[in-house]
Amino acid sequence: MRIIVILAVLCMSVLAMPIQSAEGGQTESPDKAPKILVAFFSKTDNTKTIAEYIHSLVGGDMLRVTTKSPYPADYNETLQIARAERDNDERPELAVTISPEDMAKYDVIFLGHPIWFGTIPMAISTFLEQYDLSGKTIAPFCTHGRGGAGRSASDIAKLCPNATILQGFSTVGSSANQAQNDVADWLRQLGFIK
C-alpha cells in the first residue's frame, strides 16, 4: 500500500512541475493542484462529517450522492432494503449525479460511504459504474459501526480497474465528529496537505 501512496505523490509532483519550452526556458505552468471532487453517500451524516473535514482541508468540489428513493428513517428497515440490494446485486437509481463530461475534469476523487454489510452501499456501485474513471486517483474514506472498512477498497478497485486506489481512511461512525486530527493525518500521509 505504501508503494501506491508513494507513486500517487510522485504523479502529483510531476503534474505540478512547470513545462519547459524547446529553448529551455519555462513556460506557463499547468494548474498546480489536482482538480478534486469529494463525493460521498451518507445515511446518518457521519460520512458527511468526514467529507466536510476533507473538503475543508483540500478544497475542490463536493457532491452528496443520494438515491431517488430515500432509505427509511428506521434503522432495521434500512438494513432490510440494503441487504436485499446487496443480495440481488441491485443498483438503486440516484437522485443526484454529475455528467460524464464534468466527471472528466477531476483528477482526484475522495469517495466516502458508510460500510454496509462489510462493503460499500449499492448506491456507491451505481455512482462508480456511471463513469470511466481510468487514470483517476480515488481516495476512499468510510464510517463503520466498529467492523472496519471490510472489503470496500477491493470492491471499489473492481468497479474502477483502471483507477489508482489510494490507502483509505476509516473511522467509527459515532466518532466522526471527533476525527478531525485523524483525517488531517491521513491527508498528510497521502501528500495532500503539509
> Is this structure's pTM higher than 0.75?
yes
Cβ-contact 39, 156 below 8 angstroms? no
Domain 2-15+35-190 grouped into CATH 3.40.50.360: yes
Q: For cell 455528467, what's the residue?
A: 99
Q: What is the DSSP string of 80-132?
A: HHHHHHHHTT--PPBSS---HHHHTT-SEEEEEEE-BTTB--HHHHHHHHTS-
Give me the amino acid identity at 105.
Answer: K
Helices (H) and strands (E) in the chain, counts: 7, 6
Provide the CA 107 distance to its chain's centre, in angstroms. 12
Under 8 Å CB-to-CB from 150, ≥6 apart: which residues?
115, 118, 119, 144
Rounded Cα distance, 15 and 18, in Å:
8
pLDDT of 16 > 70? The answer is no
CA-wise closest residue to 165 among 191, 148, 140: 140
Question: What is the residue extent of each domain of the chain?
Answer: 2-15+35-190
pLDDT of 26 > 70? The answer is no
pLDDT of 169 > 70? The answer is yes
- What is the phi/psi pair of residue 71, to 5°? -75, 150
**pLDDT tens figures, 103-151:** 999 999 999 999 999 999 999 999 999 999 999 999 999 999 989 999 9
